[in-house]
Structure 1
Amino acid sequence: MGLDASGFTTLRVEDREDRVHVRLDRPEVRNAIDQAMVDELHAVCAYLEANPKVLIVSGTPADTGAGTKGIFASGADIAQLRERRRDDALAGINSTIFDRIAKLPMPVIAALEGYALGGGAELAYAADFRIGTPSLRMGNPETGLGIMAAAGATWRLRELVGEPLAKEVLLAGRVLNGQECLDAGLITELVEPEELLAAADRLADRIAAQDPLAVRISKAVFHTPREVHPLIDTLAQGMLFESQAKFDRMQAFLDKKDRKKQP
């Protein structure tokens, strides 16, 4: 049974056999992340936790006919954010959903065009892979609004690009363009807007060509603390050594190698 998104109002969802495409869909407010979008993202996560697939998250594409620019997400909904108080902050509304996305069993790909600011940037940081276009503008302007980037940027961004650049983004309001994101390693590929989703699908195809269980376990082990290595690597490898896919894939490799040797 697929993901039932019939009641969604902020996301467009396409559920395929090995991946789920989720498009943020509040273009009238630059895809600002509000409570309804958070709730719907939680529903997507619940589905993917039970049915592990690659997740591709994108925003509103550019429409050359209408003259509109593409946009990923301009951040949290400022109107809602303005009314939130201490207890709302302590509830970690955005940080909780972004953490859940980061911990999904299979990899997450963020396809980024236009603004990816504030909460939009933090959503992208939570992905395993980021692909962008030249129009990408990524940063965290929260200190300019009298708050801080509290949904993962203070530690995820440092891990992704290093302390000096992370501080420039978080403390001095620097916004990175697409080429700067590529140069910093914040995105892995820079493509033209019309190629963005195709590039995300190509990456998803490469992931899908791997053994799903091996990918899931590799992702989980990758994100464990340093102090549990190498023990967790050894235990995880022990599990994979008993999987049928390991025997089937290795036998296929050997058979292919033997066929190449034949005259």
Structure 2
Amino acid sequence: MPLTLAVEIIEPGVRLITLQRPQALNALTTQLLGELADELDAAQADSATRVVVLTGNRKAFAAGADIKEMAERNLVGILDDPRQASWQAITRFSKPLIAAVNGFALGGGCELAMHADIIIAGEDARFGQPEINLGIMPGAGGTQRLLRAVGKSMAMQMVLTGEPIDARQAQRAGLVSEVTQPEFTVERALHLARSIAGKAPLAVRLAKESLLKAMDTDLASGLRFERHAFTVLAGTRDRDEGIQAFQEKRTPTFTGQ
């Protein structure tokens, strides 16, 4: 089978992954999710990779699960779904992940975008969880991540009606951080990736982890984790380099130590 992804090393530290099933609006097959999980595992293991940008094409980031594949899966197939391992691998990715979304991000495509830490959307982007129209519901984190991102009322409306929202609505709701002209979506995401890649890697990792703690823990526990992470970073060489570079009015060179 042909590969369903294209991977580019844009420059040291930044990796671009492009979903490539344009004939099916990048519908998420078992193969595609498996290849994406493998690529993120490779990026995780590569110390030179600091940030990953994930995108699709102008028509679709990903228009959901592959319906043909879904129709062939019975209850046993759902219970023993190999895609769950792929979703878990995507969730485990601890480096910054930026989604550059144009066109449709529906169903599993919306769920995939929500696995990213930052979503940059083109003005033509549409986000939705239309599974209810097929007599089912989101099954790859849609109910949990969407509610945390946009709040109860908006999440209920999107999931229970199956109706999508546009990029500006998504930005106002907090699902998307920036909206761009479609031709600049990937460029803007790569600009952010370069900026983040230039920061101290350990500080970035612990800052991301601390922010994510706020989604699934109480305030006191989150504050304890934040303080612990802050203390860990105080003993790093990158912290010393950052302070020295600031005093010397130069760009710091961070090594991840």
TM-score, length-scaled by structure 1: 0.86
Q: Structure 2 regions of 5+ residues with no counterpart?
A: 251-257
Aligned pairs (5 A) from 1:1-263: 9-15=3-9, 16-51=11-46, 52-61=49-58, 70-91=59-80, 93-224=82-213, 225-227=216-218, 228-256=221-249
Q: Quote the offset at 1:82 in angstroms.
A: 1.0
Amino acid at match of 1:45: L
Tell me the distance in 1 between the aligned counterparts of 2:53 and 2:136. 29
Amino acid at match of 2:168: Q
User: 2:248 is paired with a residue of what secondary structure?
Assistant: helix
Count of residue pairs brought into register by the alignment: 243
Q: Quote the offset at 1:168 in angstroms.
A: 0.5
Structure 1 pair 93–166 and aligned structure 2 pair: CA distance change class (3 A): farther
Structure 1 pair 204–106 and aligned structure 2 pair: CA distance change class (3 A): same
Question: 1:13-52, CA deviations, whole angstroms, 9 ceiling, x for partnerless residues?
Answer: 1024211111110011111110110110121121122125
Q: Quote the offset at 1:57 in angstroms.
A: 0.7
Tell me the distance in 2 between the aligned counterparts of 1:192 and 1:89. 38
Amino acid at match of 1:249: G
Q: CA RMSD in A?
A: 1.9
Q: Structure 1 regions of 5+ residues with no counterpart?
A: 1-6, 62-69, 258-263
Residues 102 and 128, structure 1, Cα contact 8 Å, conserved in 2: no
Residues 32 and 77, structure 1, Cα contact 8 Å, conserved in 2: yes
Amino-acid identity (%): 33
Amino acid at match of 2:232: M
Greater Rg, structure 1 or structure 2? Answer: 1
Residues 33 and 87, structure 2, Cα contact 8 Å, conserved in 1: no
TM-score, length-scaled by structure 2: 0.88
Tell me the distance in 1 between the aligned counterparts of 2:249 and 2:19. 43
Q: Quote the offset at 1:251 in angstroms.
A: 1.4
Amino acid at match of 1:167: M
Tell me the distance in 1 between the aligned counterparts of 2:174 and 2:222. 25
User: 1:20 is paired with a residue of what secondary structure?
Assistant: strand
